[in-house]
Structure 1
Amino acid sequence: MGGASRNDKRRKQEAAERRLAAAGIRVPQKRNRTPMIVVAVVLVVAVVVGGAVLIARALGNEVEPTYTTTADAAVVTAGTGPVVIDVYEDYLCPACERFETRYGNEVTTALNDGKITARFHTIAILDEQSNPAGYSTRAGNAALCAVPAGIFPRYHKKLFDEQPAEGSAGLSNDELIAFGTELGAQGDFAGCVQGDTHLDAIAKETEAARKDPALKTNDRFGTPTVAIDGKKIDLNDTSWLQKALEGQS
């Protein structure tokens, strides 16, 4: 009976539509709701995934660094692993901030596990992109001051977490010092920052990187640049670190 009832209903509906058509009235077709349902499902998934990322960040799910660091001129050496990774970065560089966000936990884990040695080269190619000029050098100086203060891993991350916009004045020296105090800096961290202790070393490191043909692409040097065992890698390959650990780079 259910089938017959549905057939009767369909026939009546079709007859009504024919009468309306004869009177010149167009009957709108039923819309296929499937695409809208699919879109809705995709949006829900995107919201859930995005929310999970935000929750993870809010909970502070970063890998805690346990590796040690030393500094020689403007190069900070972290860890003691067999794979040597050179990272050239400018603390005002937006792409460097994205690199830190994307790979920071992976690099920290590899350092903690003794799988890599990372050499962070303090570069200042964007000094003219702050107003007044010079923030890249001042931030780099503070990062180098963070090594003897015993806080470099967390201070390095802090500088990218709080990265100012290009074209701004950047963070003041007082703000850079406050970050160190917040992270438990030891020794005369404030004096090191205020005294511009590492400015010459940063300038020399920046010039050396600019002149190194092995670090250039299309005859240009930029940040971030990463080299493994002296060979520049393509950061478009998001599995670069895993391949390095597997000996594929």
Structure 2
Amino acid sequence: MANQPKKNASGNRAQEKAATAARRDARREKAAVQAARLKAEAAARKRKDRLIVGGVVAVVLALIIGGVWFQISRNSGPVETPANASSEYGFSVGEDDAPTEVEIIADYLCPACASFEGATDEQLAAAVEAGKAKVTYFPVVILDDYGDYSARAANAVGVVLDTAGPEVALEFNRNLFAEQPAEAGNKPDDDWLIDLAVESGAKEADIREGIEDSQFERWIKEGTQEAQRRGMKGTPTIFIDGKMVDPAAAATQIAAL
């Protein structure tokens, strides 16, 4: 009977060890279950992130492809030419059978073009009125290093020509040179061009969309390329009866018409 407490103590310790081991195994199992769950959640998040990134990439690619396709579509096919254009890339005033033909290639930001226009416009108008000359104007862009004003102004002339005819386009041409901004610094916006076109005789409802959307951008661009093929090195470039003439000499010839 004296040894019975020792047996009970040994049994208790064995039970405690077993219980401790069971709790340890339970914790390990719980930890393993949690780890497995976390791993599964992480994998699910990773798959979701890949799907999101893939979707974003797909959208971006679609936008890029769509933009490229739009540009290709816009720059392919026949060039839209303004109604009332009297040549492939210009517009004319005067009779076709006039004895003298004057062609003026100009950039609306070019100070020398404005000077030539100011020096010869009245004389050309008188020669046209008298039936002595036919004058053709070719808007081009060579001063795009100073921003997009040259292109926007030239396009605006195309829109006015398309909707209001050559006489209004000529008046707009005059006013653009009279109100010509400096090459450097800020340039007038599309609303300014629209207001000036309306002052020249165009209707805002007819021209706003074409000016804001650069309707005749390709016409101007290809007209500039054609002028370069004809020998244009700068502006103004003047042809009288098909022969390129120095602007000063051209002004003298025009004064004699």
> Same fold judged by TM-score > 0.5?
yes
Question: What displacement does 1:182 show?
Answer: 2.3
Look up the match of 1:79: 94
Whether the 8 Å CA contact 1:233–1:240 is kept in 2: the answer is no
User: 1:109-188 counterparts in 2 under 5 A?
Assistant: 109-129=126-146, 133-147=147-161, 148-150=163-165, 151-186=168-203, 188=206
Q: Which has the higher contact order (CA 8 A, sep 6+)?
A: 2
Bigger Rg over Cα: 2
Whether the 8 Å CA contact 1:96–1:224 is kept in 2: the answer is yes
- Is 2:207 aligned against 1:189? yes
The answer for unaligned runs of 5 or more in structure 1 is 1-68, 216-220
Q: TM-score, normalised by structure 1?
A: 0.63
What root-mean-square deviation, in Å, do the aligned CA atoms of Structure 1 and Structure 2 show?
A: 1.8
Question: What displacement does 1:73 show?
Answer: 4.8
Whether the 8 Å CA contact 2:105–2:137 is kept in 1: the answer is yes
Query: Per-residue displacement from partner, 1:28-74 (whole Å, max 9, x unpaired)?
Result: xxxxxxxxxxxxxxxxxxxxxxxxxxxxxxxxxxxxxxxxx931553
User: Matches of 2:197 and 2:247 in 1, distance apart?
Assistant: 31
Identical columns (%) = 32
Question: What displacement does 1:235 show?
Answer: 2.2
Equivalent in 117, 121, 124 of residue 104 of structure 1: 121
The answer for unaligned runs of 5 or more in structure 2 is 1-82
3-state DSSP of counterpart to 2:248: coil
Query: Quick check: 198-207 or 150-159, which moved more?
Result: 150-159
User: Matches of 1:171 and 1:209 in 2, distance apart?
Assistant: 26
Whether the 8 Å CA contact 1:74–1:198 is kept in 2: the answer is no
User: Matches of 1:184 and 1:234 in 2, distance apart?
Assistant: 32
3-state DSSP of counterpart to 1:239: helix
3-state DSSP of counterpart to 1:204: helix
Query: Per-residue displacement from partner, 1:139-178 (whole Å, max 9, x unpaired)?
Result: 0011122223242121111101110000223221000001
- Is 2:215 aligned against 1:241? no
The number of equivalent residue pairs is 167
Look up the match of 2:237: 225
User: Matches of 2:90 and 2:101 in 1, distance apart?
Assistant: 13
